[in-house]
């Protein structure tokens, strides 16, 4: 796959996982300074890693939620809670992931992640 095909594939996967509205905002906010980073994440994060056949998108969401929660990447966590639902995870599965994070990354980390996920889920419900 060449770079243009990887970019096209990445944009398809990125839109499927994150939603058109999110991707459209990111693309609209691209500047000359941020353009190389947008290209990088589209081609490599979405066009390469998220496009690999070894894990389903739901499984990739489980891993992503775990890492983002453990590393306390709060904005990305909220975005990927929404993506996890889009990828077929249930709220109960998200809850289980965050309980697992509490066990291995610590209660304060999970406490914060639960608060972020809860706010995100409630906002999306209503």
Which of these, 118, 111, 23, 120, lies nearest to 78 by C-alpha position? 120
Tens digit of pLDDT for each residue in 100-121? 999 999 999 999 999 999 999 9
How high is the pLDDT of residue 1?
76
Average pLDDT of every residue of the chain: 96
Tens digit of pLDDT for each residue in 81-104? 999 999 999 999 999 999 999 999
What CATH number should be reported for the domain whose range is 55-126? 1.20.1290.10
Q: Above 90 in pLDDT, residue 13?
A: yes
Complete DSSP assignment for 7-73: HHHHHHHHHHHH-HHHHHHHHHT--TTTHHHHHHIIIIIIIIITT-SSS-HHHHHHHHHHHHHHTT-
Q: Above 80 in pLDDT, residue 32?
A: yes
Tens digit of pLDDT for each residue in 52-78? 999 999 999 999 999 999 999 999 999
Domain ranges of the chain: 1-52, 55-126
Determine the Cα–Cα distance for residues 13 and 113; give it in Å rounded to an integer. 25
Tell me the CA distances in angstroms from 37 to 17, 101, 110, one per residue in order: 18, 29, 29
How high is the pLDDT of residue 126?
79
């Amino acid at each position: 796959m060449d770079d243009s095909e990887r970019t096209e594939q990445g944009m398809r996967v990125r839109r499927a996982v994150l939603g058109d509205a999110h991707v459209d905002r990111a693309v609209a906010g691209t500047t000359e300074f941020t353009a190389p980073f947008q290209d990088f994440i589209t081609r490599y994060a979405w066009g390469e890693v998220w496009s690999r056949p070894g894990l389903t998108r739901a499984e990739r969401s489980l891993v992503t939620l775990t890492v983002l929660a453990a590393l306390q990447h709060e904005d990305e966590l909220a975005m990927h809670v929404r993506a996890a639902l889009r990828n077929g995870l249930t709220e109960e599965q998200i809850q289980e992931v965050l309980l697992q994070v509490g066990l291995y990354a610590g209660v304060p980390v999970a406490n914060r992640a639960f608060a972020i996920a809860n706010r995100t889920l409630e906002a999306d419900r209503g």
